[in-house]
């Protein structure tokens, strides 16, 4: 697998994400309907909306973890449609509220598994650990990390296993001011490399981003 650093070595050039008329229902409630959104390479979109409006559900639907009630999603690479399955398993990262870390294992073991599973190499891990200031924490059990440190560990996967599409669910909320800025720069670098970012947020992102309001009523 590709080990080099940089944002754009997941085999795809420039991926564009298009949503057409997407509707998502959770149980009895339709969260939103007829959502149209197109995200071009190098573009970031901030999904806003009240609690429960469906921001996280939209991200999960794009990642294929939830089946939308209606609508179409397309990932295309320079105009060529990618198979949804391929796009999701090779070109997409989702960092959600549940980070998949097992609390009793060391940060090193857990990150190595996640990165390896997503196709990243060991060289990328060292670099990502440095970029996110995790050097002194890697031998600790994940349960010993603070919420902010744990989030940085989750974000390290984005750098160590490069994929074009980043779906981030409130990525900055547990981070302090310094790390919000640092992660902002990492996002900026990802966009500069032609990646795309969809982030569910309540506070504005520290990078230029288009805003997309989800759902009318909460």
Partner 1 sequence: MSAALLLLRREMALSWNGGGGPLLACGFLLSLAVIVPLGAGPRLDQLASLAPGLVWLALSLASLLTLERLFERDFEDGTLDLLALGPLPDEGVVVLKALAHWLTIGLPLAAMTLPVGISLGLTPAQLPLLALTAAVGALAFSVTGALGAALAIGARKGGLLIAVIVLPLFLPPVIFGAGALVAQADGRSPGPALALLCACALVAVVIGVLAGAAGLRGSRT
The yes or no reply on residue 180 touching partner 1 (CB under 8 A) is: no
Residue with tokens 């990502």: 128
How far is it, in rounded angstroms, from Cα 19 to Cα 63?
Answer: 12
Q: What is the dihedral of CA 143, 145, 146, 152, to 10 degrees?
A: -120
Closer residue to partner 1, CB minimum distance, 40 or 105 = 105
- Which of 196, 112, 94 is CA-nearest to residue 155? 94
Both tokens of residue 211? 């805003």
Nearer to partner 1, 32 or 101 (CB): 101
Residues 45-64 that bind partner 1 (CB under 8 A): 60, 63-64
Establish if 101 lies at the interface with partner 1 (CB under 8 A).
Answer: yes
Segment near partner 1 (CB under 8 A); pick from 14-22, 65-73, 144-152, 179-187:
65-73
Query: Which residue has 């891990």 as its token pair?
Result: 125
Binds partner 1 by CB under 8 A, chosen from 14, 23, 50, 66: 66
Among positions 52, 116, 193, 206, the unique one binding partner 1 when judged by CB under 8 A:
116
Beta strands in 116-209 (DSSP E): 165-169, 196-200
Residue from 118, 168, 186, 214 touching partner 1 (CB under 8 A): that is 118
| Angle of helix 147-160 versus helix 122-131 axis, rounded to 10 | 140
Which lies closer to partner 1 via its Cβ, residue 113 or residue 206? 113
Nearest C-alpha neighbor of 101 from the set 88, 118, 90, 114 = 114
Residues, the chain = 218
Q: Which of 2, 99, 108, 174 binds partner 1 (CB under 8 A)?
A: 99
Q: Is 102 in the site for partner 1 (CB under 8 A)?
A: yes
User: Residue 147, interface with partner 1 (CB under 8 A)?
Assistant: no
- Helix, strand, or coil here: 105? coil
**Which residues sit at the interface with partner 1, rule CB under 8 A?**
60, 63-67, 88-90, 92-94, 96-102, 104-105, 109, 113-114, 116-119
């Amino acid at each position: 697998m590709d080990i080099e650093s940089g944002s754009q070595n997941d085999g795809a050039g420039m991926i564009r994400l298009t949503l057409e008329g997407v509707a998502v229902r959770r149980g009895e409630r339709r969260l939103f309907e007829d959502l149209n959104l197109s995200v071009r390479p190098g573009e970031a979109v901030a999904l806003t909306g009240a609690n429960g409006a469906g921001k996280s559900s939209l991200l999960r639907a794009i990642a294929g973890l939830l089946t939308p009630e209606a609508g179409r999603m397309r990932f295309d690479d320079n105009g060529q449609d990618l198979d949804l399955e391929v796009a999701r398993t090779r070109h997409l990262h989702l960092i959600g509220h549940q980070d998949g870390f097992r609390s009793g294992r060391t940060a090193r073991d857990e990150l190595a598994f996640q990165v390896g599973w997503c196709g990243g190499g060991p060289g990328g891990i060292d670099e990502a650990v440095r970029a996110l200031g995790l050097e002194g924490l890697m031998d600790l059990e994940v349960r010993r990390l603070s919420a902010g440190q744990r989030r940085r560990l989750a974000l390290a996967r984005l750098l160590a296993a490069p994929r074009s599409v980043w779906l981030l669910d409130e990525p900055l909320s547990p981070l302090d001011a310094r790390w919000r800025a640092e992660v902002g720069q990492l996002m900026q670098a990802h966009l500069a490399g032609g990646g795309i970012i969809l982030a569910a947020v309540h506070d504005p992102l520290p990078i230029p981003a288009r805003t997309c309001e989800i759902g009318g009523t909460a």
